[in-house]
Chain A
């Protein structure tokens, strides 16, 4: 292990250059966000992730944002443990009926100004689970959504592009 640590001092970092902000996301955000809110938040966003019914595939890729290749925190984006500390709710999954109330309460517990980013195909419209007795639908069927990042699951790069667009707009 000592060798690994010494190598880490001399080796170039694994962290990759940031991807450009996603154009489609920028366009969606331009229509959704209030300028006043953007000024107040500056260049740092605290993210609270909420699984509202996902298959856990999206969670795996959100987790990956913290690894050395993507290193989310270099952008001023970080995950927090409580909605009270959050600026952004990152919501995955079709919203199940069993999670609807928990999602609503998490949203209400998040102070304004706040944004909701829906991650993954299911979060847009329920995906393959749409129409089930146990599923409400996409995230915007329960709380207002500012940005969708599509994919099943979206790759960490795709999520990063969307979040960087959010930062660009918030600056």
Chain B
């Protein structure tokens, strides 16, 4: 059987990259790996640039069957590299973002329109050479749409609800959407530039604010990356407490989403009851860890606070209530024909798209892709806990609701196991240990999917950090899933994806 390493051309293995290997390849080798990814022999986990001694491109790869991971790197002194997006569409937006942020050019790329840079910054290529002349605003060209009787509907960046800003350009024939093109970047805060040179503690605070709904998942992914770079490990109790927080975060978000999806189908009763369950979980989190969203509670080396004295009792009591009420809501969802009429068959995402884009979380799992970082490659303490990863293949709004319902059930069981087995001991390791100039790749399973973090350290500071939200591989699929649906079903489809704007925009 071919393994992940077989598709990577013989190259120099870079020292000090943990826990998975990193290989330097030539431009030909880079192109070869891209073609193997395009052929489905590996999944693209991430693609990012680094302005180190030399401009360098990095590509993270996953072998789905074994959970093996590797990074390949291409030094490109002239800032040009063979386009991955030319062979493998999921890389297109990443390459557009790299061009906007660094000025590096993907040679042969099918689309080099700017991404994230909307023409409002004072400079171009802020992470690269930093050209003082800003890009021209208002010259952006949307993809052409041709046909009789088509009309366009521009939506955003300011939307009608309490949601994040982004622009959606719909082209419709009557009520039917024939093309959706997203334009994102409105909440781009320059997180990766603020990371460069920041002390690890400060960088962790930035990572925790990349996407507020996934603050625990980002905390864990960033901590995994830094701990790998330093070659240290968080103590067992900290690993369990992180998992406890992660499952509470997953529960709170899934309750919020299930209710909000039903609300977008005008079924407010589910919304009201799910919002109560969400609030109960947040209050339990506040009681246990002193913050409703558990922000800044995960830190590199361990966790910042221990479970409050009555924390375990409060969480158990909350979950007892939740487990009592939730099945009734599931029954209501399942037995309401008018609601099912809106969700079943709507916004169907083909399993082939989910596989090619490496879509994770409920988007991937509702369309046949079982990938879950907690299982493979896996991380403590999940290797010692019993849980199932639900998978469906219908790929519609209904399937994405059911994945969330099944994950709620799994997370409730996981929290019970974690509290039963929570080991005693320290909650953080010594911050002084470890190697000073390593590189680390970290992954964590957030409620939305896999969060990837990559760091290159320089002493106790971050030289470069890249954060890749699962939304990068989900936003483009929303464009595919919405095609042929009616405009009025967009909010429903969008909420069922619930991609992060802030996590994507960085």
Contact = CB atoms under 8 A, between A and B. Distances in A.
Given A57-B215, A60-B213, A128-B206, A96 B292 contact: no
A125 B445 CA distance: 32
A66 B161 CA distance: 12
Nearest to A59: B162
A155 B122 CA distance: 35
Nearest to A129: B189
Contacts of A132: 189-191, 193-194
Contacts of A131: 194
B293 interface: yes
A134 B190 contact: yes
B283 to A, nearest CB: 9
A133 B134 CA distance: 11
B497 interface: no
Contact of B157 (A3, A97, A99, A128): A99
B275 A54 contact: no
A100 interface: yes
Contacts of B488: none
A164 B210 CA distance: 30
Interface stretch (A18-26, A45-53, A140-148): A45-53
Given A4-B273, A98-B120, A129-B189, A57 B160 contact: no
Interface in A43-95: 49-64, 66-69, 79, 81-83, 93-94
Contacts of A66: 275
A43 B164 CA distance: 29
B369 interface: no
B164 A56 contact: yes
A101 interface: yes
B190 A57 contact: no
A163 to B, nearest CB: 14
B107 interface: no
B160 A56 contact: no
A63 B331 CA distance: 25
B291 to A, nearest CB: 9
Interface string B158-197: 1011111100000000000000000001111111011000
Contacts of A93: 187
Nearest to B194: A132
Interface size class of B (residues with CB under 8 A): 35 or more
Contacts of B121: 97-98, 133-134
A114 to B, nearest CB: 15
Interface string B89-102: 00000000000000
A54 B500 CA distance: 11
B190 A153 contact: no
A54 B273 contact: no
A63 B120 contact: no
Contacts of B295: 57, 152
Contacts of B406: none
A69 B279 CA distance: 8
Nearest to A1: B332
A135 interface: yes
A102 B157 contact: yes
B275 A64 contact: yes
A52 B158 CA distance: 9
Nearest to A66: B275
A56 B213 contact: yes
A79 B162 CA distance: 8
Contacts of A134: 121, 126, 188-190, 193
Contact of A57 (B157, B186, B293, B331): B293
Given A4-B273, A96-B186, A101-B120, A133 B162 contact: no
Contacts of A99: 157, 165, 186-187
Contacts of B206: 128-129
5 contacts: A59-B212, A68-B276, A98-B118, A129-B194, A152-B209
Interface of B: 118, 120-123, 126, 157-158, 160-165, 185-191, 193-194, 202, 205-206, 209-213, 215, 256, 272-273, 275-276, 278-279, 282, 292-293, 295, 325, 328-329, 331-332, 335, 500-502
Closest 4 CB pairs of A and B: A57-B212, A132-B190, A134-B190, A81-B160
